[in-house]
Amino acid sequence: MFKTVSLNFRPDDYKSLEIIKNISELLSRKSIKFLLPDYKILHDGELEKFIADENDYLKSPDLIIAIGGDGTFLKTARMFLEQKAPIFGINRGKLGFLTEFSPAEYESYLVKILEGDLITADRNVMEAIHNKNGNRQSLYFFNDAVISKGAFSRAIQIELHVNDLFLNKYSGDGLIIATATGSTAYSLSAGGPIVVPDANDVFIVNPVCPHSLSIRPIVLPAASTLKARTLTDMTNLLLTIDGQEAIEFSAGDDLMFRKTDKKMKLILHPEKNYFSILREKLNWG
């Protein structure tokens, strides 16, 4: 079923090399083309022959493998967003809500997946847009977009509109705009609700350390268009995307958040469900 596989991992993760070697041998036996990124730790070894041209690596695969934690999975999803291929996540991180397959079990499941026996789920891809005097900068996110005050200790005020209707003025350390997928990430640490990913079409608006006991997270339809503006005049304001990319902005700049027609397709574990993963990762029950 699959003809070309691209694999991504953390560039300094030497412990992943043995897994990658095993995968390369498995794919070779099945005459499947295997592509690796041009990372330094792959040079001067038997895996070097699989290093691919960047364009070929990013645009050729019909299956993608990510080895690492959820951060690596999200980075991989961003790299291959236009490819629309499913992503198989092998967990070498800590929690691993997206990387559902352990290093001890991945091989038997990968064999089945290569034969076409797989379960996939589509997750929404959201867009964060920074607009400053008509100059727009756009980034996609899967987990969350966070408005924060950088290194300053004083509170910031953020005004938020939903579909051009005023919702609230938040005062505190910042504001998290999370997806259902990201409800178990930063938003959860900030007291936000866990939203089952099947309820894909939502935004979670979660204030960080609000300076009012009446301020609580709110769940909004993903079809909503959110517009935020920071009212506090300070420098070093940041819009951080999935904890990996950041845009510096100024007070008064417009920030917009909306759903796109793009999807992140991940391969689900056939013998686990979301609730069993929650119990395992959060030590419930």
Looking up residue 243, the CATH number of its domain turns out to be 2.60.200.30
Co-location of 20 and 100 in the same domain: yes
Co-location of 132 and 256 in the same domain: yes
Co-location of 130 and 113 in the same domain: no
Judge contact between 225 and 259, C-beta under 8 A: no
Judge contact between 143 and 124, C-beta under 8 A: no
Looking at the annotation, which residues are catalytic?
Answer: 70
Co-location of 99 and 129 in the same domain: no
pLDDT in tens, the chain (285 residues): 899 999 999 999 999 999 999 999 999 999 999 999 999 999 988 999 999 999 999 999 999 999 999 999 999 999 999 999 999 999 997 777 899 999 999 999 999 999 999 999 999 999 999 998 888 999 999 999 999 987 667 889 999 999 999 999 999 999 999 999 999 999 999 999 999 988 778 999 999 999 988 999 999 999 999 999 999 888 789 999 999 999 999 999 999 999 999 999 999 999 998 999 899 888 887
Q: pTM (2 decimals)?
A: 0.92
- Number of independent structural domains in the chain: 2
Co-location of 133 and 249 in the same domain: yes
Spatial distance between the Cα atoms of 28 and 22, rounded to a whole number of angstroms: 10
Co-location of 137 and 70 in the same domain: no
Co-location of 222 and 143 in the same domain: yes
Q: The domain spanning residue 48 has which CATH number?
A: 3.40.50.10330
Q: Residue 206: which of 144, 118, 149 has the closest Cα?
A: 144
Judge contact between 65 and 88, C-beta under 8 A: yes
Which residues have CB under 8 Å from 187's CB, separation 6+? 144, 176, 178, 204, 206, 217
* Alpha-helical runs (H) found in 66-123: 70-79, 106-114
In which domain, by residue range, is 206 found? 125-261
Spatial distance between the Cα atoms of 59 and 83, rounded to a whole number of angstroms: 6
Co-location of 236 and 142 in the same domain: yes
Co-location of 227 and 172 in the same domain: yes
Which residues have CB under 8 Å from 267's CB, separation 6+? 86, 87, 88, 89, 100, 113, 118, 119, 120
Co-location of 136 and 96 in the same domain: no
